[in-house]
Chains A and B, each alone.
Chain A
Amino acid sequence: MNEPVEGLQVDADRRLQEKFWFWERVGWAGMLVLVLAALAGLTGASGPLSSGKIETGGASIDYPRISRWRAANTLSVRFSEAGTSGTIVLPKAFLDAFAIDMVTPQPTQVIATSKGQEFHFVLADGDAAREVRFAITPQTPAFPREANGTVSGRPYSFSFTILP
């Protein structure tokens, strides 16, 4: 049916149509990949790959590896080392990308430093894990950026991405 049909004035192009059908199916495969990526967490919000966890010895940090612009998220720090105080420095790169909406429990002191902001917390005595949560909202799209800070004096580093 590639030839023009006698009497029928129709602007059909079978070759172009065949090409389109091929690319249409490639598009469907792309849609499937996107859905699978979303299920894996590669598009943020939730899913196993959307968040990461790092251990620094005295504390662990659950951080959003992939976030979505303006979608609320959480950064949590679990202090496992014995002691009644805990400190975390959130680096400037992180603070530029995320707004901190709320911190629970409230820090006793927040110090602005050249490297970022230093949050001081009072912790219950003992060596059971004590958690501090930062409710955060991404403020700007960001493609892999490094956050280098310290938690109770020990350095940590993670990379984060904010999808538009």
Chain B
Amino acid sequence: MDSVIRGAMIYLIMLVILRISGRRTMAQATPFDFVLLLIVAETTQQALLGDDFSMTNAAVLIVTLFGIDIGLSYVKRWVPWIGDLLDGRPTLLVCNGEIDKRALRKARIDISDLLVAARKQHGIESMAQVKHAVLETDSGISIIPVKSAA
């Protein structure tokens, strides 16, 4: 019972912290972010396992974590507002060539981040060639170029 409660609590804590840390975290992941991720994983492991290193405990925890994940994926399909709450919605950062500065500021994204995505996806040279830019729910930035740049 203990393992299931621990697993569920850690899942919930991680879900809340990752959600409120914002999508920027993965959108502009740096090597340090990956190091941070490893540290978080190590810290979480201690809290998950406690002093029980048995295979039974590991199996119960893994099944619990995956079970919650599968369960939540169904809940998100059945109750759309929970999906919005947990995953959010895409955010328009550039619309018809117009930069939404407030959205950029709130999402902690710079023009340079948009340009990186634009260069990588379409070889775009300047913002003038960007028609739309969308911050996706998976933390990626999608760039839709103006027709002539495509």
Q: Which residues of A contact B (CB under 8 A)?
A: 1, 5, 8, 10-14, 16-17, 20-21, 23-24, 27-28, 30-31, 70, 164
Contacts and interface: CB of A to CB of B under 8 A. Distances in A.
Contact of A17 (B50, B89, B144): B89
B89 A8 contact: no
A139 to B, nearest CB: 12
A1 B92 contact: yes
Task: Determine chain A's interface SS by DSSP, over half rule.
Answer: helix
B106 A21 contact: yes
B84 interface: yes
Interface string B15-33: 0110110100000000000
A70 B6 CA distance: 14
A8 B20 contact: no
Contacts of A12: 89-92, 134
A11 B90 CA distance: 6
Contacts, number: 48
B47 to A, nearest CB: 10
A30 B144 CA distance: 37
B45 interface: no
B108 to A, nearest CB: 10
A17 B107 CA distance: 10
